[in-house]
Amino acid sequence: MQRNQTKSQTMWSRSLPGVAAAVVFFLSTMALPAAAAVVEHTFVVSQMNMTHMCKEMLVTVVNGQLPGPTIEVTEGDSVAVHVVNKSPYNITIHWHGVKQRRNCWADGVPMITQRPILPNHNFTYRFNITGQEGTLWWHAHVSYLRGTLHGAFIIRPRHGSSPYPFPKPHREIPIIIGEWWAMDLTKAERDLTYYLADDDPSASTINGKLGDLYNCSGVAEDGYVLDVEPGKTYLLRVINAALFSEYYLKIAGHKFTVVAADANYVSPYTTDVIAIAPGETLDALVVADVAPGRYYMVASPNQAPKPDPQHPVFVTRATVQYNNKHNHSNNGDVPVAPEMPYQHDTMTSFYFHSNLTGLRHSQRPPVPAQVDERLFITLGLGSVCRKGDSCVRGDSNDSITVATMNNVSFQLPAATTPLLEAHYYNTSSMDDMLQELPGRPPMAFNFTDRALIPTGPKELRLEPTSKATVARRFRHGAVVEVVFQSTALWQSDSNPMHMHGHDMFVLARGLGNYDAARDVDRYNLVDPPLKNTVLTPRVGWVAVRFVADNPGVWFVHCHFDFHLTMGMAAVFIVEDGPTQDTSLPPPPTDYLTCGHNLVPDEFYLRSTKTEVPDKSGV
């Protein structure tokens, strides 16, 4: 059934007469090379007062903007971002989806790839953009603070007069879906980490604006307005920067043609609704082809139905406004509103994501046929005792709720040296810090049994778990297949799994428990989409494949911030290859050292040791 759907879907894309098929384009190497530029930005991270819904809040932002500045580059450019940290927090910035080939040093994950930038300190991120085009984004990789420290990262093609595999749009517009938190984000994070408290945002936003569903003393909040001209085509670069929710996005009366996801082209897919999980990006064309007027663009979150814990649902709306020079009579009209999917409708997301296929083009890498290593990773919740090994579990305050991959919850090592640095300098103590991420769950159970959602005997048996710095090592060039399986353990959320440094081919997805005997036949090895963030459906699974060919220490984690904060994460260590071209170069000269100004004697000393650690296992 599923297989047939995939097949017909493939044929449907192939026979689509329209946009992509007709346009010949070249991702690189053809046409005249334009000179590569160095794109330079200064990001001043500081706190600022903002007022929404009658409440003033101190928020941490870049350059006084929320969302932060957009970075626009052309493929092949070099980027230098000078971060000036005037906030009271330790900060790092992650360039979400930028592959950072042989440049893991600039990936921006605190204590994994670098020391954080301390308050009143600076750091410059330098990296090159090669072989990627489309929409990505940047965000602080400091748990909840990314809620206000984020912005769009746009990569335009380098070559050709018709650079896109679709007609050149009239305008390109970032659409950043976010959340407004009327509370201190660091407090929300502490509440989740140490207490049972589970805070919620106060509103959702489009391009930082709450829109007219929110008010202060009856006066509606500003909403984002997109002015369009009749007949013109717009490229929306949609980013979900929210901490907590997957969103549906619709524009009343209009359709989207999705042309790219996570800065990889997809076969044009026309739909009236977009589903986008935290960490995902989508490029979608919208034609202003209906009766001139005003139309709401609405973003509404979805959530698992009861017995999953329920959270308030915050909907936000912007306006698409036809700018008809000769006719202003529409401006006073009440905008037309779209009908949104129900908050508990998670199937619309399942179908949306399942319907994406990669666009075939000359520069697209083939799907590797031979698999060197297979991992099956369950995603769920568990608990650890506050003290000792035994305690009251369930909703008790004796235990702390954590999130796991194969029944281990990730914790940062206590060491003061980032893992990448320890790895690069062959620090022997690294092996003591790490525990191998199991390749399979330790125990087989009916992963998607809904009876596991409410706490009770069935759930309590599976709930105990442990914390460790889990890692998995891969030989350079290894082809790795991962099946992520969402479980119904204590909750049945979906899990947008983000991998740093690599894109993944999304071979198949399904509901229920993954069954290799049945599901391998469903793999799309022809034109699967390539993604850096793969939505594992709730009570379902997704199978991905990637080539571990980018040496370094890469964070792999759920992009729901509550899951990440609770430990749904691991690191993938990709070993150096045999040549200099396949090895990680030394850290940049201005790489942050201990205390930022001190000479890090401690690691130089260690790097001179003669003993070579066994790297075959973790």
Positions touching ligand NAG (CB under 6 A) are: 5-6, 9, 47-49, 53-54, 56, 58, 78, 84, 90, 103, 115-116, 118, 121-122, 126-128, 195-196, 215-218, 326-327, 329-330, 351, 354-355, 397, 407, 424-426, 441-443, 446, 448-451, 461-462, 464-466, 607, 612
Print burial letters for 432-467: b (CB count within 10 Å at least 16), e (below 16): ebbbebbeebeeebebbbeebbebeebbeebbbbeb
Judge contact between 165 and 157, C-beta under 8 A: no
Identity of the residue numbered 546: F
Q: Report what 237 binds from ligand NAG, Cu ion, none; CB cut-off 5-8 Å by kind.
A: none
Q: Report what 397 binds from ligand NAG, Cu ion, none; CB cut-off 5-8 Å by kind.
A: ligand NAG
Helices (H), 467-574: 516-519, 561-565
Residues forming contacts to Cu ion in the complex (CB under 5 A) are 495, 558, 560, 563, 568
Minimum distance of ligand NAG from residue 69's CB (angstroms) = 16
Judge contact between 181 and 602, C-beta under 8 A: no
Measured from the CB atom, the residue of 75 and 199 that comes closer to Cu ion is 199
Helix (H/G/I), strand (E/B), else coil: 618? coil
Q: Which residue is nearest to Cu ion (CB)?
A: 558
Measured from the CB atom, the residue of 169 and 540 that comes closer to Cu ion is 540
Question: Distance of CA 202 to CAs 205, 239, 245, 276, 548, Å?
Answer: 10, 20, 13, 20, 40
Minimum distance of ligand NAG from residue 176's CB (angstroms) = 23
Phi-psi category of 210—alpha, beta or left, where left has phi over 0 and alpha has psi -120 to 50? alpha
Q: Report what 326 binds from ligand NAG, Cu ion, none; CB cut-off 5-8 Å by kind.
A: ligand NAG
Measured from the CB atom, the residue of 303 and 378 that comes closer to ligand NAG is 378
Q: Report what 347 binds from ligand NAG, Cu ion, none; CB cut-off 5-8 Å by kind.
A: none
Q: Report what 560 binds from Cu ion, ligand NAG, none; CB cut-off 5-8 Å by kind.
A: Cu ion
Q: Report what 70 binds from Cu ion, ligand NAG, none; CB cut-off 5-8 Å by kind.
A: none
Minimum distance of ligand NAG from residue 370's CB (angstroms) = 26
Measured from the CB atom, the residue of 324 and 411 that comes closer to Cu ion is 411
Minimum distance of Cu ion from residue 258's CB (angstroms) = 23
Judge contact between 554 and 571, C-beta under 8 A: yes
Q: Report what 495 binds from ligand NAG, Cu ion, none; CB cut-off 5-8 Å by kind.
A: Cu ion
Measured from the CB atom, the residue of 32 and 389 that comes closer to ligand NAG is 389
Q: Report what 546 binds from Cu ion, ligand NAG, none; CB cut-off 5-8 Å by kind.
A: none
Give the pair of three-digit tokens for residue 291: 């009766």
Measured from the CB atom, the residue of 126 and 156 that comes closer to ligand NAG is 126
Minimum distance of Cu ion from residue 198's CB (angstroms) = 14
Whole-number Å distance between alpha carbons of 566 and 508 = 27
Measured from the CB atom, the residue of 235 and 558 that comes closer to Cu ion is 558
Measured from the CB atom, the residue of 65 and 329 that comes closer to ligand NAG is 329
> Around Cβ 221, how many Cβ atoms within 10 Å?
18
Minimum distance of ligand NAG from residue 84's CB (angstroms) = 4
Whole-number Å distance between alpha carbons of 454 and 446 = 15
Whole-number Å distance between alpha carbons of 203 and 115 = 33
Minimum distance of ligand NAG from residue 234's CB (angstroms) = 20
Minimum distance of ligand NAG from residue 116's CB (angstroms) = 5
Measured from the CB atom, the residue of 205 and 565 that comes closer to Cu ion is 565
Minimum distance of Cu ion from residue 411's CB (angstroms) = 16
Whole-number Å distance between alpha carbons of 256 and 258 = 6
Q: Report what 28 binds from ligand NAG, Cu ion, none; CB cut-off 5-8 Å by kind.
A: none
Whole-number Å distance between alpha carbons of 269 and 602 = 54
Give residue for tokens 């594992």: 536
Name residue 574's beta-bridge partners: 474, 552
Minimum distance of Cu ion from residue 493's CB (angstroms) = 6
Q: Which residue is nearest to ligand NAG (CB)?
A: 354
Measured from the CB atom, the residue of 22 and 451 that comes closer to ligand NAG is 451
Give the pair of three-digit tokens for residue 547: 């080539």
> If you count them, how many residues does the chain have?
618
Q: Report which DSSP code applies to 209.
A: B
Whole-number Å distance between alpha carbons of 519 and 546 = 18
Q: Report what 563 binds from Cu ion, ligand NAG, none; CB cut-off 5-8 Å by kind.
A: Cu ion
Q: Report which DSSP code applies to 448.
A: T
Judge contact between 460 and 394, C-beta under 8 A: yes
Q: Report what 423 binds from Cu ion, ligand NAG, none; CB cut-off 5-8 Å by kind.
A: none
Tell whether the torsion through CA atoms of 121, 563, 406 and 264 is positive or negative. negative
Minimum distance of ligand NAG from residue 513's CB (angstroms) = 7
Measured from the CB atom, the residue of 342 and 351 that comes closer to ligand NAG is 351
Judge contact between 484 and 491, C-beta under 8 A: no
